[in-house]
């Protein structure tokens, strides 16, 4: 299998007749089959993908192919694709088939991308390890005894193990960047509202973002360019112009002003190899003439609790629609309507989802609404204002993506708080609504990937991708 650094290189061979879309799909299907034990896919569209590839091969011959002709993608099991099953990794949506295709997915299909299958994830995108799925845990491609990160673990592993070239996931508190870091691939969370959420299963509506996985920043830029932009089905999406991200990825900016979060590097829970590898990358940047300075964010200590108060409150509201009456799983052990609701939700939702619904319902209860929900919204505004001030002086902010590398399966399942701490550095960008990307940054002593997180100001994805490309290819 010929390795292509960027999709544009593959596409060049496709248009010159050196390979075909059918051949590329067949290679990815072979990889999926050989890595079945990793449980990255819950459903593979084998015949459909091959048939579509054949149609696109003909389009290429006729010079009518779209911009993404030949790009094989996987979809996290929270994205609507008409006529295909959608479960969000949950038993409660057993047998549900999507009635429409979400905007982001449709835009990829319109440009002749090929969807190869539906990828495993934590139930309703709630988790940091991909152990909460009704389909069972996803396993790390380098060490199957370890987690791949979550909630988009299947999407990250699929890219890592060449089961597809690009995966489309979702990021509510780090669910693209954290598994990208664990799996040694690139993971982008764009600015909130940069990509339409129409067709994305809701977890925390004011945090949810559609994100992108690939081994190539160029591929991420090309896919972002297609998916981003206004949408009549999503009133919250931004109408800001969409730059030609892919064309400008190698644009040269002589001197970046780079901030790094001092308290993140001083955190006792940070794995030493992560501190060392990112510090080394920062020293290389400084040697090349870029300004590199430490900063402190006093509000940072409130980011994680603020996120979990607000996200669980929104989850409690969003997941109330799953009741066993209209669609999905319905319990047989019922005697009346009330028992139907109770038993369906008790049997259909997993323990982690139940935990977050209960916490969110408590936060929204009349007695505690002002004390928790309202106060958390006020703190969220203060956190956003603080990070916005950083970008008045600096181009990017650097911090670790995760406190540790991939941990063992089952290591944190008995301690939810320890599991939530895996989101320690990633939730900042979601609470503030700004874009962030995780890029590979060396390995630990067990050869497990380390991720470095780069954060930028609102709608500065172009600069973020340019800097990430520079940092990723940096050598002493």
Residue among 72, 117, 218, 156 at smallest CA distance from 402 = 156
How many angstroms separate the CA atoms of 337 and 331, rounded?
11
> pLDDT tens digit string along 258-296?
999 999 999 988 999 999 999 999 999 999 999 999 999
Q: What is the pLDDT of residue 328?
A: 94
Which residue out of 128, 129, 151, 238 is catalytically annotated?
151
Q: pLDDT class for 419, splitting at 50, 70, 90?
A: confident
Q: Residue 239 has what pLDDT?
A: 97
Domains and CATH numbers, the chain: 7-248 (3.90.1300.10)
Is residue 151 part of the annotated active site? The answer reads: yes
Which of these, 153, 228, 215, lies nearest to 185 by C-alpha position? Answer: 215
What's CA 394's distance to the chain center, in Å? 25
- Ranking 168-172, 193-197, 414-418 by mean pLDDT, the lowest is 414-418
Q: What is the pLDDT of residue 312?
A: 97
Q: Quick one: pLDDT at residue 254? A: 78
Mean of the pLDDT values across residues 413-425? Answer: 85
Q: Shortest CA distance to 442 belongs to which of 401, 410, 408?
A: 401
- Whole-number average pLDDT of the chain: 96
Other CB atoms within a 10 A radius of the CB of residue 366 amount to 6
Is a pLDDT exceeding 80 seen at residue 1?
A: no
User: Residue 175 catalytic?
Assistant: yes
pLDDT tier, 381 (very low <50, low <70, confident <90, very high otherwise): very high
**What pLDDT digit, counting tens, does each position of 215-238 carry?**
999 999 999 999 999 999 999 999
Give residues with Cβ within 8 angstroms of 106, minimum separation 6: 199
Mean pLDDT across 310-335: 94
Q: Which tens digits make up the pLDDT trace of 331-373?
A: 998 999 999 999 999 999 999 999 999 999 999 998 899 999 9
Per-residue pLDDT at 6: 95
pLDDT at 251 over 60: yes
Whether 476 has a pLDDT exceeding 70, the answer reads: no
- The predicted pLDDT at position 158 comes to 98
pTM of the predicted protein model:
0.96
**Among 128, 170, 175, 216, the one annotated catalytic:** 175
Render pLDDT for 122-166 as a digit per residue (tens, 0 to 9). 999 999 999 999 999 999 999 999 999 999 999 999 999 999 999
pLDDT tens digits, 23-60: 999 999 999 999 999 999 999 999 999 999 999 999 99
């Amino acid at each position: 299998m010929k390795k292509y650094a960027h999709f544009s290189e593959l596409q060049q061979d496709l248009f010159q007749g050196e390979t075909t879309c059918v051949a590329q799909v067949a290679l990815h299907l072979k990889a999926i089959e050989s890595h079945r034990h990793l449980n990255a896919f819950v459903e593979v569209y084998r015949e459909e993908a091959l048939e579509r590839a054949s149609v696109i091969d003909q389009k290429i011959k006729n010079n009518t192919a779209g911009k993404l002709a030949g790009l094989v993608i996987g979809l996290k099991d929270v994205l609507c694709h008409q006529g295909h099953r959608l479960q969000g990794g949950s038993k409660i949506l057993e047998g549900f088939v999507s009635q429409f295709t979400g905007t982001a997915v449709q835009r990829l299909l319109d440009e002749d991308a090929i969807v190869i299958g539906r990828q495993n994830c934590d139930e309703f995108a709630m988790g940091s390890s991909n152990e909460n799925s009704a389909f069972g845990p996803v396993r790390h491609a380098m060490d199957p005894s370890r987690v791949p990160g979550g909630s988009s673990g299947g999407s990250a592993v699929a890219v890592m193990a060449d089961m597809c070239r690009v995966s489309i996931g979702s990021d509510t508190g780090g669910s693209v960047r954290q598994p990208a870091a664990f799996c040694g691939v690139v993971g982008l969370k764009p600015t909130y509202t940069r990509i339409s959420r129409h067709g994305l299963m809701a977890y925390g509506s004011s945090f949810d973002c559609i994100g992108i996985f690939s081994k190539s920043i160029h591929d991420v830029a090309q896919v972002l360019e297609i998916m981003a932009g206004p949408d009549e089905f999503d009133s919250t999406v931004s109408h800001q112009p969409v730059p030609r991200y892919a064309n400008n990825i190698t644009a040269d900016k002589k001197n970046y002003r780079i901030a790094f979060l001092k308290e993140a590097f001083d955190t006792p829970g940070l794995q030493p190899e992560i501190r060392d590898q990112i510090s080394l990358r920062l020293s290389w940047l400084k040697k090349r003439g870029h300004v590199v300075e430490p900063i402190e964010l006093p509000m940072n200590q409130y980011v994680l609790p603020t996120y979990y108060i607000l996200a669980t409150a929104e989850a409690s509201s969003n997941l109330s629609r799953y009741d066993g009456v209209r669609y999905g799983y319905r319990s047989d052990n019922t005697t009346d309507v009330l028992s139907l609701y109770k038993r369906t939700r008790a049997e259909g939702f997993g323990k982690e989802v139940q935990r977050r619904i209960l916490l969110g319902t408590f936060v929204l209860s009349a007695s505690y609404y002002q004390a928790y929900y309202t106060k958390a919204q006020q703190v969220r505004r203060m956190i956003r204002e603080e990070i916005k001030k950083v970008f008045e002086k600096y181009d990017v902010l650097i911090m670790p993506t995760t406190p540790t590398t991939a941990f063992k399966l089952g290591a944190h399942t008995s301690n939810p708080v320890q599991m939530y701490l895996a989101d320690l550095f990633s939730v900042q960008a979601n609470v503030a609504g700004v874009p962030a990307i995780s890029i590979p940054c060396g390995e630990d002593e067990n050869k497990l990937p380390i991720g470095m997180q780069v954060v930028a100001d609102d709608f500065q994805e172009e600069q973020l991708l340019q800097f990430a490309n520079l940092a990723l290819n940096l050598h002493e």
